[in-house]
Structure 1
Amino acid sequence: MESFFNEYITSELDLEGVGSPEEVLLARRVSPYATLRPGDLAALVKLHHLQHGRHHHHPAAYRAPPFCGSTLQEDSDEEVIPKPEEVSEVVLHAADQGHVPAKYTVKGLRRHEMPIIGVYVDSRVCPGFRYRVRRTGAPINNGYFWGGKARFLLSMGMGYGQRLTFQDDQLNNNECYFWSDSEPEGYAFNIHAVDEGQKFLIQGEDDAVLGEGCVEAIHEPQEETSMTAEKGRVTKHVKVTLTCSITYYHRHHHGLMELMAHEDQETVTGNALVVRPRSSAKATLQAIEGIFLPRLGNCKFVPDVC
């Protein structure tokens, strides 16, 4: 048994010659930094005995446990494949987060994505915010869960292999979850702040309402640029590029009434502020700042809650 632990329970696994893909997957998952699930340890003990000639090889004797969360269907819709310079390979050190000294390499990560693999969970990933999730080992154009839909991250479990639970359409049977160490290649998280069809009021620098708009299209991935945690709330700043149908207001010269004077369509880039107060389980979009419209100049979009 001591030789078994020395061979398998280490931070650096030599997977050359291990055998079938099922064996490789299992060997990668069972490290001291992974969550041992029923059957994992027993399966590796069998694998250890088989490799040392105690039994005949039988692939069916050790299969990797099924992926948890039956609703994690991947998206079949086509997506624009990023340019090679937009995809990167990153090396992550769990010790930087106060965990065990595990090192991971995540390939195919895009600039706006945040990695989760093994015991490493990117510090920008927070419960209460919405994310799109994909497997980094899958093709970028069809690797998204839940049909590419963004879901609220409800909780992150304790321990090395953290359970990540998302909001499900079913209230009594939530199957939208997985563990941080379930996928050997890791996961890529993309924050989601603005939706197509969302309506806004346009405010000038003096907070006067100058018009209204509706998001017709979202052109680039929504990218988190910064995060602050203070005064009992977490605020994320997300860069967005949108095409909006705009209706400008025209105030009567007596200031007593507003008339819809002109409609237009504009493509704008702004900074979306998404805030989660301590008293709330979900973050909400507060405003999109830094917008420039040719007819109005600098302004901001505020969600129309009516």
Structure 2
Amino acid sequence: MPSLSIRLAAATAMLLAVTAAHAAEKMTYLFPAPGVLPAFAPFQLAQARGYYAAEGLEVTFQVGKGGADVAKQVAVGNAELGGGIGDTPVIVRANGLPVKAVGVLGGQALTQIIVRKDAGVKSLADLKGKKIGVLAFQDTTYYNALAALASAGLKKDDVSIEAVGPAGMVKLMISGDLAAISGVPEWTAAIEEAGVGVDVYPITTIFPAMAQAMLASDDTIAKKPKVVEGFVRATLKAVRDIQADPKTAAADYVKAVPQHAGREAQILDIMQRYNTLVYRTENPADLGKLDPKRIAAVQKFYVDSGIVQTAVPVADLYTNQFVK
């Protein structure tokens, strides 16, 4: 018969296990697009490596219908956090949705202007008269394209902008039906993999656009600050993993997302592109932090361009309190 001390130890272990299980806080993170996209690799990696669990979180991923829908669902409490771009609150807060960015996945813009090498474009001004693809006319790819064109002295009527959806962005660039797109690193990789040469113009050198952002409502920030802090910390830890060792990160990501089975080399290439084009910050310690001056500049452009009708206080659009 087990000794009293052994039985007490076993009982204590069981109690601790039960307590730990009960301590895990269930929460939902809403992706703006299918969660298997490489853009969301940090979240999948954080889940697979147990970073969310280590923060006491039991995270469920769900998919919304774009950034605006995610912001709406987060605002009304259907998800604790969700994904958008650093400028998403600029657009939705002006429409009465109490949502803030609580962390950003990198110091550069998520999107770039990607141009076919055979399009005869030597500078953005040469896009005049060309066909440019964006996801939708109410999407950051469109707004960033407008900003890029404006920097080259072009208006939207000087080019032909087409909303082609996610499938069309790559397909129509490969076929030559588009001269350029406002897109993300994995689309560049897919186009080049098909044998089409492209030039990439980083948006950040033209316009203070931002990377992916984690969004939370004012209510969640006030009532569940530990949940927000833990999620942000775990996700940024995964971003740093990708920066430090993209090869291992790519292998672990592919294991976690079987839709990419056998594509370790391609995922590694995409992660390296994100490291260079999106995640990079001048000061590594600033990873995750939002820049109020950058937000203010984006908001001014959006108001001046009629994308939003009114400006709101910049302090209402973000918080860095969870980036530690």
TM-score w.r.t. length of structure 2: 0.23
Structure with more strand by fraction? 1
More helix by share: 2
Larger relative contact order (Cα-Cα within 8 Å, sequence gap ≥ 6): 2
Bigger radius of gyration among the two: 1
